[in-house]
């Protein structure tokens, strides 16, 4: 290996070991942004890419009575993305088997029906127990786990969960919007 290539590999190894995103500051081990996952397209994804942003993490499903919330989530994402906000969608088939589709079917459904452009990740298990996603194990440590599809976690810029909103809280609800605004001004 050439010296410059060796230096790059060494820098990447150090950054990974310290959980330091290459584009920003450090991410602590007790931060949502220290986790890794997989995109809906099957590519590795580092949540460190969202460090410094406020995120709304949502367990989504395509065949649920709450599925129309996709439209409001996309609207929130579009309206606030330039202020350091992102919606992150995690499909789950945990409740009523309402997300049975493949990754490709989910992506097609979301784009065709709701114009979804916010980041979507691979299908996960949200429920506590064997097979639970590390994403939802971390989020559940806040004291709340979704009891149905479209549960929403508000995650602050530092990767700490600041609020949980159950399925019935719509993306345009005053309580959710107020919590997002408060998190964005911190």
Would you please indicate which residues are annotated as catalytic (active-site) residues?
113
Task: Name the E strands within the chain.
Answer: 36-38, 44-46, 54-60, 85-91, 152-155, 161-165
Instruction: State how far the Cα of 166 lies from the Cα of 148, in Å rounded to an integer.
Output: 8
Query: What is the signed CA dihedral for 24, 28, 32, 38, rounded to 10 degrees?
Result: 70
Helix (H, G, I), strand (E, B) or coil at 46: strand
């Amino acid at each position: 290996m050439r010296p410059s290539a060796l230096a790059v590999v060494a820098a990447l190894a150090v950054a990974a070991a310290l959980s330091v995103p290459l584009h920003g500051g450090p991410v602590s081990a007790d931060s949502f942004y220290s986790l890794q996952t997989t995109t809906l397209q099957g590519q590795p994804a580092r949540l460190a890419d969202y460090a410094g942003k406020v995120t709304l993490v949502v367990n989504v499903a395509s065949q649920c009575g709450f599925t129309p919330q996709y439209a409001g989530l996309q609207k929130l994402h579009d309206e606030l993305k330039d202020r350091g906000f992102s919606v992150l969608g995690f499909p789950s088939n945990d409740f009523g088997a309402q997300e049975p589709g493949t990754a490709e079917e989910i992506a097609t459904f979301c784009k065709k029906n709701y114009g979804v452009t916010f980041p979507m990740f691979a299908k996960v298990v949200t429920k506590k127990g064997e097979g639970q996603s590390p994403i939802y194990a971390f989020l559940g440590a806040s004291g709340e786990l979704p009891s149905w599809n479209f549960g929403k976690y508000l995650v602050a810029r530092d990767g700490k969960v600041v609020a949980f909103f159950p399925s019935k809280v719509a993306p345009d609800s005053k309580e959710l919007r107020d919590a997002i605004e408060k998190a964005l001004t911190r």
